[in-house]
Structure 1
Amino acid sequence: MLDSKVVRIVIADDHPLLLQGLKELLHQKGDVELLGAASDGATALKLILDSQPDIALLDIEMPYLSGLSIAEECRKKQLDTKFILLSYHKEPDLIAQAKSLNIAGYILKEDTSTEIFKCIDEVMQGNSYYSPSILSTATTTDSKKTVNLDLLSSSEKKILKLVASQCSSQMIAERLHISERTVEKHRSNIISKLNLAGQSNSLSLWAVEQKRLIMAL
């Protein structure tokens, strides 16, 4: 770690045990100041905008807003905060999206304890740091899938747009005045029509990756 400056950090993860473990890990270092912690994306975004930390350490999947969506929103507001994402996912599409948003760091959650401080150090020096296993997967695997969104009905397209906007099934049901069961049925049909079944990333993650394409429907 750099010893010339205290690094001001905000963290966010919707899993309580992981969030607590991250707090304890960061508290081991005297040159890190933890400004706050959040358990969902909306709270994390507000915390970042209010405190403008040096680094935001975010779970990639959270209620309301994903780590990628938060980073994109902060970029629009021209914040200087650098972003490090934590995830179990290492699909090339996600890595490509993270790089397109100039995400400074991307660490697999299983590697957090061994790589987090090296990542923070590299990021604070103006470099990027992606877990070696992530880069290996990204360069040797092509998981992009050609899909035909015209196969979807108007109702399915409407629901897919809401999924891409990080809405849960409950939120979609309330917004469209339908039951959650109906929403889940539509989601299942979307997965089937787009041949997404068996993918390691969920429909929600895929929709976030393809948000720009989906919102143009």
Structure 2
Amino acid sequence: MLYRSAKMVTAPLVRLLWWPKVEGREHVPAHGPAILASNHLSVLDSFFLPALLRRPMRFVAKNEYFTGNRLTATWMGAMGTMPIDRDNASAAQAMLDSAVGVLEAGEMFGIYPEGTRSPDGRLYRGKIGVAWLTLTTAAPVIPVAMLGTEKVLPPGTSIPRLRRFGIRLGAPMTFTGDAASARDRRAVTDEVMAAIQKLSGQEYVPKYGTSVKNAA
């Protein structure tokens, strides 16, 4: 109920202020589980994508969004966003276990394989959580490209700008393999990232975005 109420407010507001262009809606299944694997350019990605899809979805976002600004935390919770402690391996696995429950219930789950916002607009190497999820649940992966959202709310700013952005969804991807195999998880993740890169047109960087941020 809270999700529906939040979306009734968010969706019209997003369309009115930013005139988003959404391509590939037909790739989102009408029912059943699906993993939406997206690039990550702005904190607003977690608002925009759920607001503009017809089906409800659960998302994952860093724990800091739930412990800082109260309005942001409340809105994240209302939109079904799940917190993750990126520095705690056991907490991250607990989040993935919760995501399995979401998918087994026939719902959609969104994840940012990069594990962090891009520091410079490029696409960075994906972490293997998305592969573990699809190999564990057999849920299809829908690659997603957020386009131009970094111009709506650039890093370090707090007031959104009125810039048009886009969302491009690709065809569902299905995989076979062993979720316990590091090689299979890496291969699946790299294939998902290649699909995201094809949709977004971003330059791909074969290293983790978190390592770039930590080195800055």
Which one has the largest radius of gyration?
Answer: 1
TM above 0.5, yes or no, is no
TM-score (norm 2): 0.30
Question: Which of the pair has the greater relative contact order for Cα pairs under 8 Å at 6+ separation?
Answer: 2
